[in-house]
Amino acid sequence: MSVMAHARRPPVIAVAAALVVVGLIVAWMGQRADAVASGQPRVTWHLSRASNTVTVRLTPGQGPLGRQFLAHSTLTVTEPGKTHLKNPDPGGRMVRVTVPPGRQTQLTVLVKGPQPSRRTLTVTVPPALRIVAKSPARCQARLRLTAEDGEQAVVRVTVPALPEVPLYSFASPAGRAIYITVDDGWTPSPQVLDIMRRTHLPVTAFLIQQAAQRNLPYWRAFVAAGGTVGDHTVSHPDLTKLSLSQATAQWGQARQVLGRWLGRTLVMGRPPYGAFNLAVQAAAYRGGLKALVGWSATADRDGIATWNHKGLEAGEIVLLHWVPGLGQQMTKLLKAIHAKHLIPRPLTPASFAGQAPQRHSLGGD
């Protein structure tokens, strides 16, 4: 059996669908008729490989009485557990049975009349086309199938898109909440840990696995001080430049390994450089994440910058980095937060309820 696909593809992202078509096996069980004798009507059958329909027919036997016997004969086909199939042919000489894909069924063919007979047909129909989504984009295709006997059929298939994880750059402003996130993890900050312990400041660290590995005791203390850990991949690549499976491994491995090291289940991720697209979001889903987190404000040694160049507002997600001097930057940020009567809150997937996911990368680090 050959398969040809004519696909209309979304222009941006390549689509791949693996299609498995298994050959058809049909077996006659029971005896090959002694039917020729004495005008006994003959049973023939045909499996349509396009529609998975078995057509059983009664045809006249040989001899002068063949047609006469046929006229007085009826055909009934039964399946195990099913009532006798209705006979759609007024002449009583043809029955169609549809066999679901991937099933084997036994059909009992009963001929009633002057020359009764009974046979059993075992029909095996191949599994349905197995369509494997490998792309974040949905794809529609028409397959032209050609069976071994030359019969052709056109099948419309829709390859579903991989589910994707939404990315949010703002979170809930309820209660004048603001969210502090600190990325990478190359340089742990004892001052920040001290602030967290003294003031119960909620901080989310999006950690690179390779960076966190260097200072595991610090990150365990960070978690013990109430810190939340997010997934910032294994090695901080631009995920939009990787294949789907590479990006999935970057998310999934870091999520699992960091979770094991720190005794937490990681559910949020932040794409390095803020670079994301549908494939990165689909990879995050495959990697086990529930939400991707962007940011709407940054704080570094040059001060605080917001997306709209105005002051900090409720619902902002502020991005900092684990760099030398982070303690001072955090102190300045907290002053600005308090001056605006904002309250740092822990970031969880629930923080994004009611927020619109972001569609495009902002760029950054």
In the complex, the smallest distance separating the C-beta of residue 273 from Zn ion, rounded to whole angstroms, is 7
Distance between CA atoms of 163 and 286, rounded to whole angstroms?
Answer: 8
Task: Give the span between the Cα atoms of 215 and 187, in whole angstroms.
Answer: 9
| Residues of span 270-289 touching Zn ion by CB under 5 A | 272
Least distance in Å: CB of 232 to Zn ion? 6
Piece in contact with Zn ion (CB under 5 A), picked from 191-199, 267-275, 309-317, 336-344: 267-275
Distances (CA, A) of 349 to 170, 179, 200, 262, 353: 12, 12, 20, 19, 8
Q: Which is nearer to Zn ion, 105 or 233 (CB)?
A: 233
Q: Which is nearer to Zn ion, 149 or 365 (CB)?
A: 365
CB nearer to Zn ion: give 49 or 232.
232
Q: CA-CA distance, 251 to 259, in Å (whole number)?
A: 12
- Residue 34 CA to residue 327 CA, distance in Å, equals 95
**How far is 255 from 231, CA to CA, in rounded Å?**
6
Alpha carbon of 221 to those of 209, 213, 263, 328: distances in Å?
Answer: 16, 14, 12, 20
Choosing from 164, 184, 231, 316, the residue that interacts with Zn ion (CB under 5 A) is 184
Per CB under 5 A, does 231 bind Zn ion? no
Closest CB 208 distance from Zn ion, rounded Å: 7
Name which of 178 and 207 has its Cβ closer to Zn ion: 207
Contact call for residue 183 and Zn ion (CB under 5 A): yes
Number of residues that bind Zn ion (CB under 5 A): 3
Handedness of CA 291, 295, 300, 303 (dihedral sign): negative
Backbone angles phi, psi at 118, to 5 degrees: -150, 130
* Closer residue to Zn ion, CB minimum distance, 164 or 183: 183
Q: Which residue is at the shortest CB distance from Zn ion?
A: 183
Nearer to Zn ion, 58 or 317 (CB): 317
Q: Which residue has the tokens 């349509």?
A: 48
Q: Which residue stretch of 59-67, 183-191, 339-347, 349-357 sits at the interface with Zn ion (rule: CB under 5 A)?
A: 183-191
Distance separating alpha carbons of residues 153 and 24, to the nearest angstrom: 14
The span of 3-11, 96-104, 106-114, 177-185 binding Zn ion (CB under 5 A) equals 177-185
Give the span between the Cα atoms of 183 and 293, in whole angstroms. 11
Segment interacting with Zn ion (CB under 5 A) among 50-58, 60-68, 182-190, 336-344: 182-190
Nearer of residues 252 and 271 to Zn ion, judged by Cβ: 271
Binding site for Zn ion (CB under 5 A): 183-184, 272
